[in-house]
C-alpha cells in the first residue's frame, strides 16, 4: 500500500485526527483542499509580510556590513598590507560583538 500523503499510519491515533476528519466532512462533498504549492505560497507570503522577519534581516545586514568590507579588501586588485587587513578584521569582529551585545539588551 502506497502512502501517497506521506502521513504515518499512527496519525490516526492522534487526539486531533477525529477533529480534522469532522472539519473536512463539514465542508461538504465538493470541497477541494489546498495543494502543496498554494500552502507554500501562503507560508512564504506570511513570512515576508511579518515585521519580525524584516527586523531580523536588518540585524543581519548591519552585522554583515563590516565583514563584507573586509572581504572587499581581500578581493581587491591590489595587495593590501597584512597589517591593514588584520586591523580591518579586528575592527569588524569588535563591531559585530558590539552589535550583538546591543541586540541582546533590546
The answer on pLDDT for 56 being more than 80 is yes
The answer on pLDDT for 2 being more than 60 is no
What are the CA-CA distances from residue 52 to residues 49, 59, 63, 88, 98 (Å)?
Answer: 9, 11, 17, 31, 21
pTM above 0.95, yes or no: no
The pLDDT of residue 69 is 81
Q: Which residue has the higher pLDDT, 55 or 11?
A: 55
- From the number of C-beta atoms within 10 Å of its C-beta (0-12, 13-18, 19+), residue 96 rates as middle
Amino acid at each position: 500500500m502506497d502512502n501517497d500523503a506521506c502521513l504515518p499510519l499512527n496519525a490516526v491515533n492522534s487526539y486531533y485526527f477525529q477533529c480534522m476528519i469532522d472539519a473536512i466532512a463539514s465542508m461538504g462533498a465538493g470541497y477541494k483542499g489546498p495543494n502543496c504549492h498554494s500552502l507554500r505560497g501562503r507560508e512564504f507570503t506570511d513570512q515576508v509580510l511579518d515585521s519580525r522577519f524584516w527586523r531580523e534581516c536588518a540585524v543581519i545586514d548591519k552585522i554583515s556590513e563590516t565583514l563584507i568590507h573586509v572581504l572587499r579588501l581581500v578581493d581587491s586588485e591590489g595587495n593590501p598590507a597584512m597589517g591593514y587587513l588584520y586591523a580591518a578584521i579586528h575592527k569588524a569582529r569588535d563591531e559585530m560583538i558590539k552589535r550583538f551585545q546591543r541586540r541582546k539588551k533590546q
